[in-house]
Structure 1
Amino acid sequence: MIRIFLKERVSWILFFIFLQLLVLAMGYLDTSIPFLSTVYITFISCLSFVIFIVMRYGIETRFYKSLEKLEPSFDLTAIPEATSPFEAISSERISGQIQVFKKQLDELQISLEQEKDDMLNWIHEVKTPLTTLQLMIERTEDPVLRSQLMYEWLRIHLLLDQQLHQKRIPFIQNDLYIEKVDVQKLLFQEIKSLKQWCMQKRIGFNVSLEAEKVLTDAKWLGFILRQLLSNAVKYSEDSDIRIRCTSKGGITTLSIEDFGQGIAPRDLSRIFDKGFTGTANHQNHAATGMGLYLAKQVAESLLITMEVESAVGEGTRLSLIFAKENEMVRIARM
């Protein structure tokens, strides 16, 4: 702050130095004026000026030091009190801008809430004809056509499900219900929903569960599993998907391993980024790049660590490492 203060006052300081040099020059050129007296006057003036600068530094920087320490917020009472006309102008303008931004933010929040409610209502409205469509597809006699239609229906269903949960994620803390969840029941439920897709791609499941229950939120864990399983099925064919759930030292790990095309090493660090669809299969227009991103967002809220191992042509293993139970109990009490 001292450097900024001196930089701000540099023109005044230079002007003062110029005046002192002018006094010394006059004392030197005018023989009627004792030169020693002009030196003495100059010395006293410089000393007084230094004391004045030091005093003014404390007074003039108090307001700006308070601004510098101010936390970003819309609290108008946090703005320091002005002690000079210029500070009063600054304070007034800052208060005015904060009020404008606060009003705009309130309007945007209302608009966002309205948009979210409209989207959720639309998704729920679409689910009704989608359920009817499923019943009609199941009555189709041609097995090949039925399988193709069910595959397309499932794609629409998964995209709607993604959109629904994406709108709910910002408010996930209000929707958590921590309980002992039966992993096997949840897994088989999600696998069953992908049955037609798996049959079409000739994919089976090899499930081994040493740990059968975890302390978490069933609905949101189901969403994570849905994204991981649909990704595993999407990039596999004519192979099994291996699912393992183990527990060691109070930490439960659930891994889903496929033997599909795998992920390029350059993409591993980016697979959880929003909208990232990979560079190895970039022409795949069906990929949205949202599934793993949303799964990661939910996992963080549930204190689940996601790890990925993959090699091109050998497949991918995604692991969910659950937090210890005492950590989940803490969340449940919040």
Structure 2
Amino acid sequence: MKFSSFLKDRIAYTAVYIISTCAIILIMYLTLIINRLEFPINNIFYAFLVSIVFYIIFIMYDYYRNKSFYNQLNSILNSEKDLDYILNIGSPNNFEQAMFKKVLLKLYKLSGDKTIKYEEAHKQYMYFVNQWVHQMKTPVSVINLLLQEQVSEGQKEVFESISEENEKLAHGLDMMLYNARLNGFNLDFNVESFDIISIAREVINDNKKSMIRHHIFPKINTNKEISVQTDRKWIYFVINQIVINAIKYSKSDSEESKLITFEVSEEASKTTLSISDQGIGIPKEDLSRVFNAFFTGKNGRKTSESTGMGMYLAKKVCDNLGHGLLVKSTEGFGTTFSIVFHKGKNIFNL
């Protein structure tokens, strides 16, 4: 607390002190006049001045006596540290400060108890979500196996439609599972060096039915292995999400074939995997909000399939991995998402 702020808090005390001092001097002066005793007026002003000097000295002493306590309170307000910093507050200089410290410690304890309670409830909820998703994935897999059996020509279209909806259900469950795991990212994280193109091929293979169904074909513009350091499972989720979006916004009712292109560029400080589609593109006004949670944009409102969470989760994963995730798009001509793998420094945000 600054000295000026300290004085402002004591304006009322100062006013009462000056008024009471003036009242006492006035009473004494009137008493002398009534008793017809002479008393030099200069002595009155001198007494008033001495009284004010003593008051100023006391105010300064009181401020510097409590300055350390005020500074610690100010540090707590401006600190970005956690609540444990409150425990380091210094010894109080009076009963008021002692009560204030007790209030802070009580609030800290209540806050800590509530935090523990909510964390426990959150853990139980996350456990339930994980168990539920795994249980739901079993019937999805069974349905997928049944759909692979031979069916008559008349049933083919119906079964293909069921298969497509089953794929959407499986993707939704995966997204929910990854969202639940994201809260404990540092507990589910393993950095290794591997060929990023192998992950791209794995994603392509897992989405080949959907690509064939919508006449969309992958193209990888490199034949060599390009190693990056990242977490295999999490980066698979990011690439898979980009590919699923590319398929979703590239498909059309016509028989025209379209491409999803994978391209890798290497520089001294980074490796970039770019995934480009030939879809409807993203409107310019929506580009800056692509990675916002629940943002579906102009394109998303055209279909009920969009949740607005896919690219948000992909961005969160890339941030935690220390990778960049960029987007470029021209409406009507397609979209390019680029994953930037930085080199030569500790980039993982654990």
The TM-score with structure 1 as length reference comes to 0.92
2-structure distance, mates of 1:285, 1:10: 64
1-structure distance, mates of 2:243, 2:195: 17
Offset of 1:132 from its aligned partner?
0.7
Out of 79, 93, 101, which is 1:91 matched to?
101
Residues 206/179 of structure 1: CA separation in 2 closer, same or farther (3 Å cut): same
Structure 1 stretch displaced more, 67-76 or 310-319:
67-76
Letter of the structure 1 residue corresponding to residue 289 of structure 2: R
Residues 223-272 of structure 1, C-alpha deviations (whole Å, 9 max, x = no match)? 11011111111111241111101212242110011121111111111111
1-structure distance, mates of 2:161, 2:301: 24
> Which residue is equivalent to 1:62?
68
Structure 1 stretch displaced more, 159-168 or 188-197:
188-197
Offset of 1:76 from its aligned partner?
5.8
Matched, 1:191 2:204: yes
Query: For residues 138-149 of structure 1, what are the structure 2 equivalents within 5 Å?
Result: 138-139=148-149, 141=151, 142-149=155-162
Offset of 1:331 from its aligned partner?
4.9
> Which residue is equivalent to 2:110?
100
| Identity among equivalent pairs (%) | 26
Residues 104/140 of structure 1: CA separation in 2 closer, same or farther (3 Å cut): farther
Matched, 1:271 2:285: no
2-structure distance, mates of 1:313, 1:136: 38
> Which residue is equivalent to 2:189?
176
Matched, 1:16 2:29: no
Structure 1 stretch displaced more, 132-141 or 103-112:
132-141
Offset of 1:25 from its aligned partner?
5.4
Matched, 1:253 2:272: yes
Letter of the structure 2 residue corresponding to residue 256 of structure 1: I
- SS in structure 2 of the partner of residue 255 of structure 1: strand
> Which residue is equivalent to 2:45?
39
Letter of the structure 1 residue corresponding to residue 8 of structure 2: K
1-structure distance, mates of 2:145, 2:52: 94
Residues 87, 105 of structure 2: 8 Å contact kept = no
Out of 254, 261, 267, which is 1:242 matched to?
261
- SS in structure 1 of the partner of residue 74 of structure 2: helix
Offset of 1:280 from its aligned partner?
4.4
Letter of the structure 2 residue corresponding to residue 56 of structure 1: D
Offset of 1:153 from its aligned partner?
0.9
> Which residue is equivalent to 2:254?
none
What RMSD, in angstroms, separates the aligned Cα atoms of the two structures?
2.2
Letter of the structure 2 residue corresponding to residue 5 of structure 1: F
Offset of 1:27 from its aligned partner?
7.8
Residues 187-209 of structure 1, C-alpha deviations (whole Å, 9 max, x = no match)? 11111211222122211112112
Residues 27/36 of structure 1: CA separation in 2 closer, same or farther (3 Å cut): farther
Out of 327, 330, 334, which is 2:345 matched to?
327
> Which residue is equivalent to 1:53?
59
Query: For residues 117-156 of structure 1, what are the structure 2 equivalents within 5 Å?
Result: 117-139=127-149, 141=151, 142-156=155-169
Offset of 1:65 from its aligned partner?
2.0
Offset of 1:115 from its aligned partner?
0.8
Offset of 1:140 from its aligned partner?
5.0
Out of 117, 122, 125, which is 1:112 matched to?
122
Out of 301, 308, 323, which is 1:289 matched to?
308
1-structure distance, mates of 2:49, 2:317: 71
2-structure distance, mates of 1:275, 1:159: 14
2-structure distance, mates of 1:81, 1:259: 68
Residues 300, 306 of structure 2: 8 Å contact kept = no
Structure 1: 5+ residue runs without aligned partners?
none
Query: For residues 216-231 of structure 1, what are the structure 2 equivalents within 5 Å?
Result: 216-231=230-245
Letter of the structure 1 residue corresponding to residue 314 of structure 2: A
Offset of 1:72 from its aligned partner?
3.5
Query: For residues 293-304 of structure 1, what are the structure 2 equivalents within 5 Å?
Result: 293-304=312-323
Letter of the structure 2 residue corresponding to residue 115 of structure 1: Y
Residues 270/331 of structure 1: CA separation in 2 closer, same or farther (3 Å cut): closer
2-structure distance, mates of 1:6, 1:76: 26
Letter of the structure 1 residue corresponding to residue 47 of structure 2: I
Residues 304, 320 of structure 1: 8 Å contact kept = yes
Residues 197, 225 of structure 2: 8 Å contact kept = no
